[in-house]
Chains A and B, each alone.
Chain A
Amino acid sequence: MLMRSLASTLVALASLGLGACSSKPADGSVSILNVSYDPTRELYDAVNKSFATAWKAKSGKDLEVRQSHGGSGKQARAVLDGLEADVVTLALAYDIDALAEKGLLAKDWAGRLPNRSAPYTSTIVFLVRKGNPKGIKDWPDLIKDGVEVITPNPKTSGGARWNHLAAWGWALRTLGSEDKAREYVAALYQHVPVLDSGARGSTTTFVERQIGDVLLAWENEALLATKNLDKNAFEIVIPSVSILAEPPVAIVDKNVDKHGTREVAQAYLEFLATPEAQEIIATHHFRPRNPEVLAKHAAEFPKVELLEVDKDFGGWAAAHAKHFADGAEFDKIWSKKAETK
């Protein structure tokens, strides 16, 4: 307490010296900051341009949406540490819950927009090298001898947590018991040579550095790799069971109130549900919520049996405590792996 008051005195003195040091634009233009996760770089690049045009038409003001990208957990941490995001668009609800926990936004944030605040969905698929030389068709093939699996670190990456839960969920359903599921997932991590910190890092490891036989990837990352990077080098394999990934978006109440940007931030997130934005979403390989847009792109998004975090894992809080908290399933499995090496 004494330290804190000492600190505030120092800051008060320093601010006298510095003068007003805030960074509000003087002209009529508006600027908001969208702190997002790794694979949405190209998506928001396109969405932002489209929304800026729509906003200019509606309000007559120029809008700049600034972007920051990184692993979902890492980005949530930065917002907690003071990165002043007006909106967060992260990989999973748990990371936004963490912000709500600290009072940065209302705890009922997920109910403020339709579809649990997730304007699009995705799932987890396998990306393999052309011709599928290791014959990978479904989850059991991942733990065959000589197969190397690339997945990021579930401690820092949202995509990796979806990967982990999809594997666990399949094993639990097919093999029938918790112990069998744990055994399968442990065997799976035995086949992982590198744990990158974000989904994009893993894709680069697999695609550019040519490491591994199969990449557990966001469907959108896998489609990006096959359609935009190298058409003839990869194939997508859809497993028999995967998981419904719902990357959510939310306004950070504390920051929009401070910046006076609530109205534009709200409009920005609502824009994501418009047919125009849904079309952009689909062309960037995320599954749109809008049924007509989805129907139009149906060829790209095959039907898969999907597990749901709420139904099959008791929600993110429970899933996190069981699998990703310190000392939980992932830590146990990974430290055991380190011992056997």
Chain B
Amino acid sequence: MSAPAPRRPALADPIAAKATLMVVAFGFLSLFLLVPLGIVFISAFKGGFSTYLAALTDPDAGAAIRLTLLVTLIAVPLNVVFGLAAAWALTKHDFRGKGLLLAVIDLPFAVSPVISGMLFVLLFGAAGLFGTALADADIKIVFALPGIVMATVFVTFPYVARELLPAMAAKGRDQELAALTLGATGMQTFRKVTLPNVRYALFHGVVLCTARAVGEFGAVSVVSGHIRGETNTIPLHIEILYNEYQFTSAFAVATLLVLVAFVTLIAKKLLLRTESQGATA
């Protein structure tokens, strides 16, 4: 045939391909991530630092921040318990309907958040299945804290379970069986064997779950009722500010969500690092 091709490591792409890939990847990231994020911060500080601070210390913003924290503090622990139980059941036991449970865990990923919110309105709204009974008992679910918590739990529940499942499956059942043979109780086995084995996966799940719980918009929007200072979470408060032409304030509050995203990213990185160090040690 022709002259031999210039020597290069057999598995590397040609320089041109490598450069194109990098340009595409970085170009895409800048266009869709870095530029919009930059704009959030530039718009937030348009009116100077005092305006920025005023937007965050506004009483309605304060109420939205407190509500979001409260909802997250309830939803995440619930999903940790649920995730541990589901992952435990699915990886350490065999039973009928295992496939079904596995599929159902993923449901919130597949369903649009707006539909998730609608489900709760259809169940607990005044005209819903439980509506009359709830009204008689004077319990408010939708357009109040319980509904917002439920919608958040629903939307975020796969995060912990999905992280734990592969980790637990990879470890198998041998160590637990060994512990039990050596006379450990079920609880001891769980605390000393199972939990430490999956702790990184659990942290990872908690981080993702928290990030999603703080930022959830669609499902919460449907069940919130949008009462200012009462049932507005941070994302809903941002929408209200935007609709009231208070663009600077809207972006100021939005920086909080961006910060949550950064913290999430850093936490993920740190976890990965400690995990790999833990593995080599």
Tell me if A10 and B130 are in contact (CB < 8 A).
yes
Q: Given A23-B144, A78-B143, are A33 and B137 neighbors across the interface (CB < 8 Å)?
A: no
A115 beta carbon closer than 8 Å to chain B: no
Residues of A within 8 A of B144 (CB): 23
Q: Given A68-B226, A82-B126, are A23 and B140 neighbors across the interface (CB < 8 Å)?
A: yes
Tell me if A83 and B139 are in contact (CB < 8 A).
no
Say how far B145's CB is from chain A's closest CB, in angstroms: 9
Complexed CA–CA distance, A288 and B222 (Å):
34
Residues of B within 8 A of A (CB): 121, 124-140, 142-144, 146, 225-230, 240, 242-245, 247
A80 beta carbon closer than 8 Å to chain B: yes
Complexed CA–CA distance, A296 and B227 (Å):
34
Complexed CA–CA distance, A163 and B225 (Å):
26
Complexed CA–CA distance, A66 and B131 (Å):
23
Say how far A160's CB is from chain B's closest CB, in angstroms: 16
Q: Given A68-B227, A70-B226, are A11 and B133 neighbors across the interface (CB < 8 Å)?
A: yes
Say how far A105's CB is from chain B's closest CB, in angstroms: 14
A18 beta carbon closer than 8 Å to chain B: yes
Tell me if A67 and B228 are in contact (CB < 8 A).
yes
Tell me if B243 and A204 are in contact (CB < 8 A).
yes
Tell me if A7 and B142 are in contact (CB < 8 A).
no
* Chain B residue nearest in CB terms to A7: B130
Tell me if B121 and A81 are in contact (CB < 8 A).
yes
A50 beta carbon closer than 8 Å to chain B: no
Tell me if B225 and A68 are in contact (CB < 8 A).
yes
Tell me if B129 and A3 are in contact (CB < 8 A).
yes
Tell me if A81 and B127 are in contact (CB < 8 A).
yes
A8 beta carbon closer than 8 Å to chain B: yes
Say how far A238's CB is from chain B's closest CB, in angstroms: 23
* Chain A residue nearest in CB terms to B122: A81
Complexed CA–CA distance, A49 and B140 (Å):
27
Say how far A42's CB is from chain B's closest CB, in angstroms: 7
Give residues 12-26 of A contacting B (CB, 8 Å): 12, 14-15, 18, 21-23
* Chain A residue nearest in CB terms to B125: A81
How many positions in chain A have a CB within 8 Å of any CB in the partner chain?
Answer: 35
Q: Given A10-B130, A23-B144, are A204 and B139 neighbors across the interface (CB < 8 Å)?
A: no
Tell me if B142 and A82 are in contact (CB < 8 A).
yes
Q: Given A21-B139, A23-B140, A200-B243, are A82 and B227 neighbors across the interface (CB < 8 Å)?
A: no
Question: Can you offer 13 A-B residue contacts whose CB atoms are under 8 A?
Answer: A3-B129, A10-B130, A15-B139, A21-B146, A66-B228, A67-B227, A69-B226, A69-B240, A81-B125, A82-B125, A82-B126, A82-B140, A204-B245
Complexed CA–CA distance, A201 and B244 (Å):
10
Tell me if B126 and A4 are in contact (CB < 8 A).
no
Within the complex, which residue of B129, B143, B146 is in contact with A84, where a contact is CB–CB below 8 Å? B143
Residues of A within 8 A of B125 (CB): 81-82
Complexed CA–CA distance, A61 and B228 (Å):
21
Q: Given A22-B138, A66-B230, A229-B245, are A83 and B133 neighbors across the interface (CB < 8 Å)?
A: no
* Chain A residue nearest in CB terms to B137: A15
Within the complex, which residue of B133, B138, B140 is in contact with A7, where a contact is CB–CB below 8 Å? B133
Give residues 52-99 of A contacting B (CB, 8 Å): 66-70, 78, 80-84
- Which among B128, B132, B139 has the greatest number of chain A C-beta atoms within 10 A? B139
* Chain A residue nearest in CB terms to B134: A11
Complexed CA–CA distance, A21 and B124 (Å):
15
A320 beta carbon closer than 8 Å to chain B: no
10 more A-B contacts (CB under 8 A) besides A82-B131, A83-B227, A201-B243? A68-B225, A68-B226, A68-B227, A69-B240, A80-B126, A81-B121, A81-B125, A81-B143, A84-B140, A84-B143
Complexed CA–CA distance, A82 and B131 (Å):
8
Residues of A within 8 A of B (CB): 3-4, 7-8, 10-12, 14-15, 18, 21-23, 33, 38, 41-42, 66-70, 78, 80-84, 102, 200-201, 204, 208, 228-229
Complexed CA–CA distance, A33 and B231 (Å):
12
Say how far B78's CB is from chain A's closest CB, in angstroms: 15
Say how far A242's CB is from chain B's closest CB, in angstroms: 25
Say how far A262's CB is from chain B's closest CB, in angstroms: 18
* Chain A residue nearest in CB terms to B136: A8
Residues of B within 8 A of A69 (CB): 226, 240, 243
- Which among B126, B142, B228 has the greatest number of chain A C-beta atoms within 10 A? B126
Q: Given A8-B132, A82-B126, are A66 and B229 neighbors across the interface (CB < 8 Å)?
A: yes
Say how far B49's CB is from chain A's closest CB, in angstroms: 24
Residues of A within 8 A of B240 (CB): 69
Complexed CA–CA distance, A316 and B9 (Å):
77
Say how far B73's CB is from chain A's closest CB, in angstroms: 18
Tell me if B243 and A12 are in contact (CB < 8 A).
no
* Chain A residue nearest in CB terms to B143: A83
5 closest pairs, A vs B, by CB?
Answer: A82-B126, A8-B133, A81-B125, A11-B133, A83-B225
* Chain A residue nearest in CB terms to B247: A208
Say how far B100's CB is from chain A's closest CB, in angstroms: 22
* Chain A residue nearest in CB terms to B141: A82
Tell me if A33 and B227 are in contact (CB < 8 A).
yes
Residues of A within 8 A of B128 (CB): 81-82
Residues of B within 8 A of A78 (CB): 143, 225
Residues of A within 8 A of B143 (CB): 78, 81-84
Tell me if A42 and B244 are in contact (CB < 8 A).
yes
Complexed CA–CA distance, A204 and B135 (Å):
38
Say how far B234's CB is from chain A's closest CB, in angstroms: 17
Q: Given A67-B228, A82-B126, are A204 and B242 neighbors across the interface (CB < 8 Å)?
A: yes
